[in-house]
Amino acid sequence: MISSNSYIGLGERFYEEEQPIPVSEPELFLWNDGLAEQLQICEILGLDSCSNPGSNSKDFSEKDSKILAEYFSGNQIVPDSSPIALAYAGHQFGQFNPQLGDGRAHLLGEVLDRDGKYWDLQLKGSGPTSFSRGGDGRCGIGPAIREFLMSEAMHALGVPSTRCLSVVTTGEAVYRDRVLPGAVVSRIASSHLRVGSFQFYAARGDVEALQLLRDFAIEKHCPEFGPSFGSEVRDDKERTLLLLDWAIEKQIHLVVEWMRVGFIHGVLNTDNTALSGETIDFGPCAMMGVYDPATVYSSIDHMGRYAFGKQPNIIHWNLARFAECLLPLIKEDDKQSADKIESMIAEVPDRISEKYSSMMASKFGIAAQVSSDSDLLNSLLEHFAVNKLDYTNTFNLLTESLSSGSAREQSEGLLKQFFPIWWSRIVDQEISMEQVQALMRKNNPVVIPRNHHVEAAVKSAEEALDPALANRMLEVMRNPYRSTTNTALYQDLPVDGDKQYQTFCGT
Ligand code: AMP
Ligand code: MG
């Protein structure tokens, strides 16, 4: 079932009604069977050939495949949906832009999944809107494939993320630094509210809109903090503080998860920071290979603002921008609440550090941290950096060293003087070595979507319009914590250690 669009209830200041602009030859390129099944998409659209659980896109009848391409290119409007483009602002590389908004995306409505949860369904690349600012409203197939692959990999890694349902090629060219095949990607998110959504109204001094947005966010994400939930009655101030605390918790969880798997978002502007704490907008994102907090791949991030190791600071900074938007919702004479907001933001770095070190301890097999562990963890990571050790593969090797003699030997070779120190620390715990290994296996993926494999899939899509590499890679990325038939094919390191690797914004 698709419900029309709850954002419309917010009122006209929040969106523009816009229709996707039809494309000439839509063709289904990638389809997310598992997600489609969870969202009951085929039932919604009355299709037969994709309605069996476990079916996959190659089993579609030609007719159904064409119908899906029509709907997920925006040529046909999904029944009961009401496409809109949302307004938002944002700090881009620290500079405030008061007017961004969905310049190439259409939010169709909300879909109810099999577990009774609603998801926003959005098309991206579906044509210009009132927010396009001269852009063409389109998306190249490369960025569409990257978003599909990376978001699906993140989801499987257990990192909160928006997800893609489809990539449809348009049969039309898009003009960037070169001519590329065009595509429309469809994605779901628990909401499309961004820090920048609040900034749009704060910048205009529109307190009423901020109140509406706060209450909308609470209703969507944490209804237990609503004005009256069960027997609780909450006033304005209380709701504001609860929403802030909720958002802080989500963002902390998200950034620590990114650090756990080695994800670099690449363009962590406030408009690309979803309030829900889901990874959103995969333009120049990449995975870190060799451990180095200074790792940056984005061609436009000259100052390293969004380097791997800076992400916790940036999340803190973005949360401070969100908190500023909430201040007008606190009465002027309520100094206590204003102080509370300030202290909540001031505590973010410590809260991130605490979660980060507990995560890092788990990666190294330490179940319960003691104070001296922080020195050990720092020394180990420093050793990783100095010796240019691959983040994912080294943790895997250490995990295996608990049960394999040859992995232990190799680990000794890599960790050198730190190996016996680490080993005696993990042996000296109240849990068994099997339990230590289980802890490490849970926190250390065996495979990640390495940049050179993502690029190969993108290239084959761009040059040959062939989805095979992307589909093959997806199959492996869906099981990142255990080796499957083809896992080893994706564990290899890039030939040049990604030294020349550069990513570009998907505009
Ligand atoms: P992004 O870099 O994708 O996060 O986009 C930043 C802003 O630019 C958002 O407001 C987008 O809607 C807008 N934008 C990006 N690419 C295009 C495009 N090709 N046409 C119109 N607007 C775009
Ligand atoms: Mg964006």
pLDDT digits (tens, 9 = 90+) for 384-427: 999 999 999 999 999 999 999 999 999 999 999 999 999 999 99
Give the ligand at the shortest distance from the Cα of 101.
Answer: 1
Question: In which residue are the tokens 């909300």 written?
Answer: 110
Mean pLDDT, residues 2-18: 92
203, part of any domain: no
Average pLDDT over the chain, rounded to whole?
95
Six-digit token string for 330: 């606190």
> What CA–CA distance (Å, rounded) separates 464 from 467?
9
| Centroid of ligand 1 to alpha carbon of 4 (angstroms) | 25
Atom from ligand 1 closest to the CA of residue 105: 12
- Residue 357: the pLDDT is 97
Quick check: CB of 74 below 6 Å from ligand 1? Answer: no
Quick check: CB of 100 below 6 Å from ligand 1? Answer: yes
Q: What is the count of structural domains for the chain?
A: 1
Q: How many CA atoms lie within 13 A of 111 on its CB side?
A: 25
Residue among 102, 271, 281, 301 flagged as catalytic: 271
- Residue 57: the pLDDT is 54
Quick check: CB of 18 below 6 Å from ligand 1? Answer: no
- Residue 506: the pLDDT is 62
Residue 352 in 3-state DSSP? Answer: helix
- Residue 505: the pLDDT is 81
Atom from ligand 1 closest to the CA of residue 100: 10
The string of pLDDT tens digits covering residues 418-461 is: 999 999 999 999 999 999 999 999 999 999 999 999 999 999 99
Six-digit token string for 454: 């993502």
Ligand 1, atom 11, residue with closest C-alpha: 103
421, part of any domain: no
Mean pLDDT, residues 361-389: 97
| Centroid of ligand 2 to alpha carbon of 27 (angstroms) | 25
Whether 301 is catalytic is no
**225 DSSP assignment:** G
49 — pLDDT class (breaks 50, 70, 90): low
Ligand 1, atom 12, residue with closest C-alpha: 103
pLDDT higher than 80, residue 51 = no
Quick check: CB of 182 below 6 Å from ligand 1? Answer: no
Quick check: CB of 505 below 6 Å from ligand 1? Answer: yes
Residue 113 in 3-state DSSP? Answer: coil
CA distances in angstroms from 118 to 85, 186, 188, 221, 278, listed in the order given:
19, 16, 10, 10, 15
pLDDT higher than 60, residue 268 = yes
Atom from ligand 1 closest to the CA of residue 137: 20
Quick check: CB of 176 below 6 Å from ligand 1? Answer: no
Quick check: CB of 147 below 6 Å from ligand 1? Answer: no
| Ligand 1 site-directed mutation target among 104, 175, 282, most atoms within 8 Å of CB | 104
Quick check: CB of 103 below 6 Å from ligand 1? Answer: yes
> What CA–CA distance (Å, rounded) separates 413 from 232?
59
pLDDT higher than 70, residue 58 = no
pLDDT higher than 70, residue 465 = yes
Quick check: CB of 138 below 6 Å from ligand 1? Answer: yes
Nearest to 415 by CA among 387, 396, 392, 449: 387
The string of pLDDT tens digits covering residues 77-136 is: 999 999 999 999 999 999 999 999 999 999 999 999 999 999 999 999 999 999 999 999
Ligand 1, atom 7, residue with closest C-alpha: 100
pLDDT higher than 50, residue 471 = yes
pTM over 0.85: yes
Q: Is 134 exposed, middle or buried (0-12, 13-18, 19+ CB in 10 A)?
A: exposed
- Residue 231: the pLDDT is 80
212, part of any domain: no
Domain interval for residue 140: 2-192
> What CA–CA distance (Å, rounded) separates 422 from 426?
6
| Centroid of ligand 1 to alpha carbon of 272 (angstroms) | 11
Phi, psi of 180 (to 5 degrees): -130, 155
40-44, 140-144, 148-152: least confident range: 40-44
460, part of any domain: no
**Helix (H), strand (E) counts: the chain:** 17, 15
Q: What percentage of the chain exceeds 70 in pLDDT? A: 97
pLDDT higher than 50, residue 53 = no
129, part of any domain: yes
| Centroid of ligand 2 to alpha carbon of 275 (angstroms) | 13
93, part of any domain: yes
Quick check: CB of 102 below 6 Å from ligand 1? Answer: yes
59 — pLDDT class (breaks 50, 70, 90): low
6 — pLDDT class (breaks 50, 70, 90): very high
- Residue 423: the pLDDT is 98
CA distances in angstroms from 486 to 4, 54, 273, 413, 474, listed in the order given:
42, 20, 34, 27, 11
| Ligand 1 site-directed mutation target among 102, 136, 268, 507, most atoms within 8 Å of CB | 507
Quick check: CB of 132 below 6 Å from ligand 1? Answer: yes
- Residue 109: the pLDDT is 96
226 — pLDDT class (breaks 50, 70, 90): confident
Quick check: CB of 104 below 6 Å from ligand 1? Answer: yes
449, part of any domain: no
32-41, 312-321, 347-356, 496-505: least confident range: 496-505
| Centroid of ligand 2 to alpha carbon of 271 (angstroms) | 6
> What CA–CA distance (Å, rounded) separates 355 from 253?
8
Quick check: CB of 124 below 6 Å from ligand 1? Answer: no
- Residue 478: the pLDDT is 97
Looking at this protein, which amino acid is placed at residue 274? A
462, part of any domain: no
- Residue 56: the pLDDT is 52
| Centroid of ligand 2 to alpha carbon of 127 (angstroms) | 15
| Centroid of ligand 2 to alpha carbon of 407 (angstroms) | 42
Ligand 1, atom 13, residue with closest C-alpha: 103
- Residue 487: the pLDDT is 98
Atom from ligand 1 closest to the CA of residue 271: 4
Question: In which residue are the tokens 């495979």 written?
Answer: 447
> What CA–CA distance (Å, rounded) separates 148 from 165?
8
Ligand 1, atom 5, residue with closest C-alpha: 507
| Centroid of ligand 2 to alpha carbon of 267 (angstroms) | 8
| Centroid of ligand 1 to alpha carbon of 102 (angstroms) | 7
Six-digit token string for 58: 């190659």
